[in-house]
Amino acid sequence: MDDGSGKPRRVLLKLSGEILAGPEGMGFHRETVYAVAGVLMEAARRRIQVGVVIGGGNFARGRDLSAFTRTQADYIGMLATVMNCLAVSDAIQRHGGKSAVLSSIPVQEAGAEVYAPGRALELFASGNTLLFAGGTGNPLLSTDTAAALRASQTGCGILYKGTKVDGIYSADPKTDPGAVRYGSLTYGEVLKRNLRVMDAASVAICRDNRLPIVVFDITEPHNFLQILEDHSFGTVVEGE
């Protein structure tokens, strides 16, 4: 499970906050949070260093909070991601694993360190699963962008995006029975076709840093371990 050099693989997993809500739709579903923690611990046992970026949609997503100014709404959303990261980190530690939360928004009192790339590398080296909280720390940017940045800044080899469908489709497969699933795409095709699996900024960051994206279904958390071994269960985005 390493890269052939004896060194652990390092990847980034991007999750939507809604995954942690499980069947409840909002907030935390305890069994789902523990299931996510469990697969992250198993990945660590397989010598895979995992960084995780989680959205805040199970509590608040900035672009949906029309009652507030966009800047304040985005800060509310970023704080929701902090709650999600703290929850998953706590679940890992309660089950004997090693984890740390690094946040772009200072919340040291809650047990989260301020994000810095060098500190992230130290924590990876000591066997921690890392939860990257607070998005980029800037309004008007998505957690997809945060995922692309953190993956690039910490030397991750692949960005895995866990969604509610098993890859990228030509249209929403839930509403369009004729939607076509793609096995692979280039960054340019994703942008040109406006496929919206990730925002344009995040796709451009991955393209510029030659960071492959793999989109897969994580409604069953164990799928993460499967996609690590076989990318055919998702859609791979790479190449010009």
Residue 2 has pLDDT above 60, yes or no: no
Is residue 4 included in any domain, yes or no? no
Distance CA(224)–CA(220), nearest Å, equals: 8
Report the pLDDT averaged over residues 19-28: 92
Report the pLDDT averaged over residues 144-165: 97
- Residue 223: its pLDDT value, please? 97
55-75 pLDDT tens trace: 999 997 777 777 889 899 999
What residue numbers bound the domain in which 128 lies? Answer: 9-237
What value does the mean pLDDT of the chain take? 93
Is residue 1 included in any domain, yes or no? no
Q: What is the pTM assigned to this prediction?
A: 0.94
Neighbour count for residue 6 (Cβ, 10 Å)? 7
Number of structural domains the chain divides into: 1
- State whether the Cα torsion 78-84-88-90 is positive or negative: positive
Is residue 3 included in any domain, yes or no? no
Residue 165 has pLDDT above 90, yes or no: yes
Assign residue 13 the CATH number of its domain: 3.40.1160.10
- State whether the Cα torsion 17-22-23-29 is positive or negative: negative
